[in-house]
Amino acid sequence: MTRVLVVDDQFLIRAGLAGLLRAAPGIEVVGEAADGAEAVEQAAATRPDVVLMDIRMPGISGITATERILAGADRADGGAPPRILVLTTFDLDEYVYAALRAGASGFLLKDAGPERLLTAVAAVAAGDTLFAPSVTRRLIEAFAPRPEPAPAGEPPTDLGVLTAREVEVLRLIAKGLSNQEIADRLFISEATVKTHLNRTMSKLGLGSRAQAVVLAYESGLVTPGRPGRPGLSG
């Protein structure tokens, strides 16, 4: 069973989401929260696998709640921290980018249909990030700082702890390629790609694939919209 905590300050939206999830096989709604402070408390008490997190709420925002939930997610039983799936009204909401930096695993528009919601919860629970390359590109282009790209073959200073292969894997992840597509491009196995990604995230202190994408752009490893430089596809 995938344990889900639903967070939204609007009662009807929260109740609708919770009702839909409760009717789906394999999902257990372990709690509902009307604001960020309540979300933090319930996440600690119920230990969900996935948190559906509204961004704009009175008091503690969804961004701050995300940070606090993930910061306090070290469990005595060694379990994994919850995956945060952000709920937003607009796909270019500036708060979405801040949520990615806080450690969210993806975002879902509030007008998404029931099938999309269930697919999103399943994907995030499985450890995936919920971003089409085109959506990632729009977010990065709209809100990420744009430093000068690193010279060819030379990783940015922030990425100096990575091996050349790890840098290349990170670059391809930021371009929107899946693990299998990266494996095909580099003539290695998908398991090897996952190993490189896990080591990269560990070395850089990252909690999600989405954070890895953001860092790749912020460091200048990949620069959106610059002719002749790598960019996201899709």
CATH topology of domain 2-130: Rossmann fold (3.40.50)
pLDDT at residue 98, rounded to an integer? 78
pLDDT tens digits for the chain (234 residues)?
999 999 999 999 999 999 999 999 999 999 999 999 999 999 999 999 999 999 888 888 899 999 899 887 655 455 678 999 988 776 655 676 777 778 888 888 888 889 988 988 998 888 777 664 555 556 656 555 555 554 545 555 568 899 999 999 998 888 777 788 899 999 999 899 989 998 998 898 887 777 788 788 778 887 765 433 333 333
Q: What is 148-218's CATH topology?
A: Arc Repressor Mutant, subunit A (1.10.10)
CATH 3.40.50.2300 segments of the chain: 2-130
The segment(s) of the chain belonging to CATH 1.10.10.10 are 148-218
Predicted confidence at residue 231, as pLDDT, reads: 34
pLDDT computed for residue 186 by the predictor? 93
Rounded to an integer, what distance in angstroms lies between the CA atom of residue 124 and that of residue 85? Answer: 7
pTM of the model: 0.68
